[in-house]
Structures are given as C-alpha cells and as structure tokens.
Amino acid sequence: MSHLSILLRGACACLLGASLSVHAQTQSQPSSDALVDPVAARQQAREIAQGDPARWYREDGTRQAQLRTLKKEAGAALQEARNACKKAPSAERKGCEQEARATYQNDLAQAQAQVDGKTP
C-alpha cells in the first residue's frame, strides 16, 4: 500500500470520525449501532461474517474515485445522524436535522478540498 493511500485512508477515517464525534457530542445518547437502519445492520452483519471485502484493500486510483468514496462515507454518516434525530425529542428534531445537514455539507467541502490537495 502506498504512502498516499495510507494517508488518504487515515484522512477518510479522521473525516468520518470527526463528523460522528461532533454529532455524538450534541446528542444525549452515545452513537451506536442502534442508529443504523435494521435492514442495513443485517446486511453489514452478513458482510462482516464473510470477512473483509477485497475492495477495502484496493486503492482508489483516481481523484474521482477518491471523492466518490469520501462522499459515500459522508452520506453514511448523514444517514446515521438522521436516524439519531428521529429518536430525539420532537422539539429537538428540526435543529438536529439542520445540524446533520450542515455537518454533511462541511464533510463534502472537506472531501473536495482533500481530493484537490488542499488539506493534509
């Protein structure tokens, strides 16, 4: 695995972790798999039982592929945040949704900047 690939994977993990961390800090309950849609959770369990997919170890060869991966991760984080918002008291849901969308937009901007080489 190339040095660039290791850096990109670390940056992806950091970006996703930062998004989830910010959202988790605003929630009274900690982030957990309980926020994952049950259908998606079953699919994830089947995939985990089969071991790591080979795609995890293939480098995104182009900037477009890297950006697509980062956008997919940001989308997954957004979906988890929205699931958490649904479980929040009704008075907090609108603000929670707004924050989730703002975090998602920020994640997309950071992803674009990362692929353009403007961030480490």
What pLDDT is recorded for position 3? 52
What pLDDT is recorded for position 48? 85
Spans in the chain with pLDDT lower than 70: 1-34, 119-120
Rounded-to-integer distance, Cα 40 and Cα 117, Å: 33
What pLDDT is recorded for position 71? 95
Give the contacts of 46 (CB within 8 A, at least 6 positions apart). Answer: none
What pLDDT is recorded for position 53? 75
What pLDDT is recorded for position 36? 76
What pLDDT is recorded for position 44? 83
Rounded-to-integer distance, Cα 62 and Cα 64, Å: 5
Residue type, 69: T
* CA terminus-to-terminus distance, the chain: 18
Rounded-to-integer distance, Cα 88 and Cα 68, Å: 30
Residue spans per domain, the chain: 3-115
**Residue 28 φ/ψ, nearest 5 degrees:** -75, -25
